[in-house]
Amino acid sequence: MGNCLKRNQTQLQQNQQCPKCHVVFQAQTSALLYQQHVTNCRVRPIQNQPVQSRNLLVGDVVIEPNHHPIPNPNPNPRTTPHYIQDDFQNRKQKYYWCKELLPGSKIKYKWNKKLSPPMPAANVSEMLALPWVQIKNSEFPIKQTWFRLQLEKKRIPWQQGAETLSVNKESFLMTTLNMYKEINWHKEVKVHIDGDKVLDAGGLLREWANLIMKEIIHPESGMFQLADCEDVSYKINCEADTDEHIIDCFKLLGIVVGKCIFERIPLNIYFDRSIIKHIIGQPIFLEDIYYYDRQLYQSWDFLVNNKFEADDISEFFVIYRQSKGDYYELKKGGQTIQLDMDNCQEYVNLCIEYYTYISVKPFLTAFLSTLYSIIPKQLLSLLEPLELEMILYGTPFIDINDWKDNTDYKGAYYRTHQTIQWFWEILEQLDQFNLAKFLQFCTGSTRTPVEGFRKLESNRGNCSKFCIESVPFTKANPYPKAHTCFNRLELPMYETREEIESYLKAVIQADMDGQFGME
């Protein structure tokens, strides 16, 4: 157990680290708790030397490869939102979608529908009192519930007032950049669009986040570029400008991502795996490069897993920087150090560190500093990469049967009403792309949480199922109308299947960024 753990000792005399999962136990922690954890830890030891084996100072943010436990929280949070109460009060069998690696693979994954485990505590207070170490080794639904409870302790109740973010419809990004530093993002934030009478009850915030992400990711900004991988995801452009405006945009991006996590808003845009690893403070390995650049991954994988002669590969410990027209030495004297079988692993590790950290350091600094101001990095370190992706993005597909099973009806409509049957028949014929567009029209988001449609929310953590409400059909306004704040669709009472199909498809083909029928 190390020199600091003596026989019959009841408390640790100095910080101790689990050799398997790298959780750090603080001095004065129960020695018995530490011994029990090491004995029962289910995390397998890391076999390969991580790229970042030291703390990396990123501006005022330290990206730490180790997980740090959070002290036991105050067991009396201000309020418990409905979406969490349901986890304890509703004893029905519930399912969730889980993103898991395929057996024997470090790269490929699949989505599995799994039964949610029972909560390890009878109520919120008992749940909050559970130790960080126990939660770290729990299944995702338990981990997510504890994670959410911790965030709720940071929330400033809406009764204490809300923040207003006033933006111009023609310049969303610039007007947001002028205001975001003045806002307390742990408060309820209401987005007000200049000249618009629509009041925000959560839907406009989702739409605003989506629009800001789109502008920042857009190729014209020069901040991100498409990652060379199977999925459509984005990596930081190492050749982006480092002027004050671009750095400010990265800080704003950290705010948007942090607020989306805080408010449980699924992102519509994927980040590459290296960014995910930086967020949770985990080291980046060769397999993570598969989601950054497949060509680099294949080249480096060949180097570390095959035998070759030094004369076969004329490479040195340098990287050519096209934008600057010079060579960057991966280590001192790199221009004279030739790649060979003995140093190829070191070469690959240094290349990974350069591409995913050193070359993007100022941008990563800005992004993480503001993200951590909303979501503490200690809480984020609780998660594994795929788990953070599940929280950030929800599910990448729409289960139409789950949608139907979790829909309420108002007015003249009911489940077997003829117009409702036509409605679902038309949606069943749509592909996933158009289903996502229609879901965005109705809710402000293209995705659902991993728990599916039963966990759709309005504002303030209230569960709000998708609802279809009947309204009279008029030629003056024959289109469906969405109230994204409440996940409600006003569907006119069409007389024929052809009518409803025509108007539904017109809505789907229209601009989904707040320009057509959304409130």
What residues are labeled active site?
485
Dist CA 294 CA 299 (whole Å): 9
Report DSSP letters for 454-471, one per residue. Answer: GG-B-STT-B--EEEEEE
**C-beta separation of 98 from 390 below 8 A:** yes
> For residue 318, what are the β-bridge partners?
329
Say which DSSP state 134 is in.
Answer: H
> For residue 471, what are the β-bridge partners?
492
- Residues 6+ away with beta carbon under 8 Å from 454: 94, 402, 406, 463, 465
CA dihedral 193, 197, 200, 203 (to 10 degrees): -80
- Residues 6+ away with beta carbon under 8 Å from 388: 276, 279, 280, 380
Dist CA 451 CA 465 (whole Å): 13
Say which DSSP state 116 is in.
Answer: P
Dist CA 482 CA 487 (whole Å): 7
Dist CA 105 CA 287 (whole Å): 10
Dist CA 133 CA 186 (whole Å): 26
Dist CA 390 CA 393 (whole Å): 6
Query: What Rg do the C-alpha atoms of the chain give, in angstroms?
Result: 25
Phi, psi dihedrals of residue 408, rounded to the nearest 5°: -100, 160
**C-beta separation of 137 from 143 below 8 A:** no
Q: Comparing C-alpha atoms, which of 321, 318, 274 is closest to residue 293?
A: 274
> For residue 114, what are the β-bridge partners?
96
